[in-house]
């Protein structure tokens, strides 16, 4: 497994609930201090300060990003989700600061790492390896990855979970949600309780490395007939709830293909979009994390490497059937059918105002356009993503009627959005109609 170079420094992970709560409390106090100081300055100039403008400043966003990056765990993960899910609805400078959370995290100091590995494998764990690289090759919100050679000659990637992550998930999510409410990032009147409950559930699953190992093996089996994809092999003898061991696969960042030929960019995105449709309609199992870092590319074999299956989500049969019905109606130009299925999926609520419903149907219509033509859709030349985003932002301004969609829909749409962003970044041309028709 190949990863980008670590840039952040080693910082111990605060592992007790009290220490993590105190850090978030300190962040809230710091933001409150910034707000009070700026309000005083504006009042002195004869201006009437607005609370939302005082809270949503680059200085406060930078403080939040820095603190969450130092904490790691669920606190940092929630910040990452905000930057991906709400990024288009934030001022550009704030979105850019929070997006820094999607880069490499700080990693554990050597002594803390050794303690974690001793708890997982025993005090003599080093006897298992010819070589274990202490400096990680990647560090993220929940764990960091090391390269190692086992005593029997295997080249492996070892993902080590930060201490205290699992037991701090619930309190981290609650505390960060309270902080976001204070910062004005959560619209008043919006019930985010289902989203918070789902965030906790998913994070508990992501923190169970034995579960991720099973998902890894499952995807390896599902794609055994597709040599274009490469999935790491699980090493069960080294895997525990806090340590995941898998084969190390050499590759490059998938977005490095920006400089590749048009044909190669088209081929890779055709593979990934085709896989997305298989996950939804055939596997009923989807890796829902849209982070580009979950895809690598091996130039020597032209294979796409799939990584990180912690966010794998199983969908019920009826969920795929609903999307199949939506696509059938959309491709047939059946507006009434699209509207009916959109209500069943949860895109629209029964009490949604007519104007807001019309906007939602317009957005669905835009998203269906690339599927209607049996020809390559040029992601790089289209402004469709911007038009869909602008419509979504306009809808979000109606906070009195804004509703969070069902969780299965939300996570599936996030994955679709991430793949669309990657296709746009690579300026790929893909015949979407040819990929979707076999599933309808």
The rounded distance, in Å, linking the Cα atoms of 185 and 177 is 9
Select which of 104, 172, 266, 289 is catalytic. 289
Pair of tokens at residue 364: 């669905």
For the chain, give the longest Cα–Cα distance: 74
Pair of tokens at residue 123: 């005090």
Contact 132, 118 (CB under 8 A): no
Distances (CA, A) of 368 to 40, 300, 404, 406: 51, 36, 22, 21
The rounded distance, in Å, linking the Cα atoms of 203 and 140 is 13
Closest CA to 361 of 382, 340, 379: 340
| Integer-rounded Cα radius of gyration of the chain | 23
Number of C-beta neighbours around residue 215 at 10 A? 21
The rounded distance, in Å, linking the Cα atoms of 11 and 405 is 38
The rounded distance, in Å, linking the Cα atoms of 190 and 205 is 26
Helices (H), 160-313: 165-182, 193-206, 209-222, 262-278
The rounded distance, in Å, linking the Cα atoms of 243 and 117 is 8
In terms of Cβ atoms closer than 10 Å to its own Cβ (0-12, 13-18, 19+), residue 397 is exposed
Contact 132, 146 (CB under 8 A): yes
Q: In the chain, what is the straight-line distance between the N-terminal and C-terminal CA atoms, in Å?
A: 35
Active site residue 174: no
Helix axes 73-85, 17-44, angle to 10 degrees: 50
| Strand stretches in 76-164, DSSP E | 129-132, 138-139, 143-150, 155-161
Helices (H), 46-162: 51-55, 58-71, 73-85, 92-99, 110-121
Pair of tokens at residue 429: 């041309």
The rounded distance, in Å, linking the Cα atoms of 439 and 135 is 45
The two beta strands, 243-247 and 295-298, are unpaired
The rounded distance, in Å, linking the Cα atoms of 108 and 15 is 12
- Catalytic residue IDs: 289
């Amino acid at each position: 497994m190949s990863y980008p170079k670590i840039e952040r420094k080693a910082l111990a992970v605060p592992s007790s609930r009290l220490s993590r709560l105190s850090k978030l409390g300190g962040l809230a106090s710091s933001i409150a201090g910034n707000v009070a100081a700026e309000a005083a300055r504006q009042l002195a100039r004869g201006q009437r300060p607005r609370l939302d403008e005082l809270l949503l400043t680059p200085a406060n966003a930078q403080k939040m990003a820095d603190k969450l990056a130092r904490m790691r765990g669920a606190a940092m993960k929630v910040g990452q989700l905000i930057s991906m899910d709400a990024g288009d609805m934030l001022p550009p400078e704030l979105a850019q600061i929070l997006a820094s959370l999607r880069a490499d995290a700080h990693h554990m100091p050597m002594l803390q790492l050794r303690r974690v590995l001793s708890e997982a494998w025993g005090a003599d764990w080093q006897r298992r390896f010819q070589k274990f690289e202490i400096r990680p090759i990647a560090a993220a919100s929940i764990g960091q990855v090391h390269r190692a050679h086992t005593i029997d000659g295997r080249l492996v990637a070892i993902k080590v979970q930060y201490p205290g992550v699992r037991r701090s998930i619930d309190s981290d999510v609650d505390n960060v949600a309270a902080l976001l409410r204070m910062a004005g990032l959560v619209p008043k009147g919006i019930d985010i309780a289902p989203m918070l409950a789902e965030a906790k559930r998913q994070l508990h699953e992501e923190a169970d490395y034995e579960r991720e190992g099973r998902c890894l093996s499952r995807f390896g089996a599902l794609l055994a007939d597709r040599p274009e994809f490469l999935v790491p092999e699980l090493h069960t003898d080294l895997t525990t709830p806090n340590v995941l061991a898998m084969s190390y696969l050499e590759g490059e960042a998938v977005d490095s293909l920006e400089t590749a030929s048009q044909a190669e960019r088209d081929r890779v995105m055709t593979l990934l979009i085709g896989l997305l449709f298989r996950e939804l309609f055939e596997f009923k199992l989807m890796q829902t994390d849209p982070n580009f870092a979950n895809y690598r590319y091996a130039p020597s074999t032209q294979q796409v490497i799939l990584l990180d299956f912690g966010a794998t989500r199983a969908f019920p049969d009826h969920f795929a059937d609903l999307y199949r019905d939506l696509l059938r109606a959309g491709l047939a130009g059946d507006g009434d059918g699209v509207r009916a299925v959109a209500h069943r999926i949860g895109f629209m609520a029964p009490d949604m105002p007519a104007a807001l419903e019309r906007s939602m149907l317009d957005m669905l219509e835009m998203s269906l356009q690339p599927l209607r033509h049996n020809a390559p859709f040029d992601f790089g030349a289209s402004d469709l993503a911007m038009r869909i985003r602008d419509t979504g932002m306009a809808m979000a301004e109606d906070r009195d009627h804004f509703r969070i969609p069902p969780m299965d829909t939300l996570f599936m749409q996030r994955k679709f959005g991430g793949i669309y962003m990657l296709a746009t970044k690579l300026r790929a041309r893909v015949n979407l109609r040819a990929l979707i028709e076999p599933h309808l």
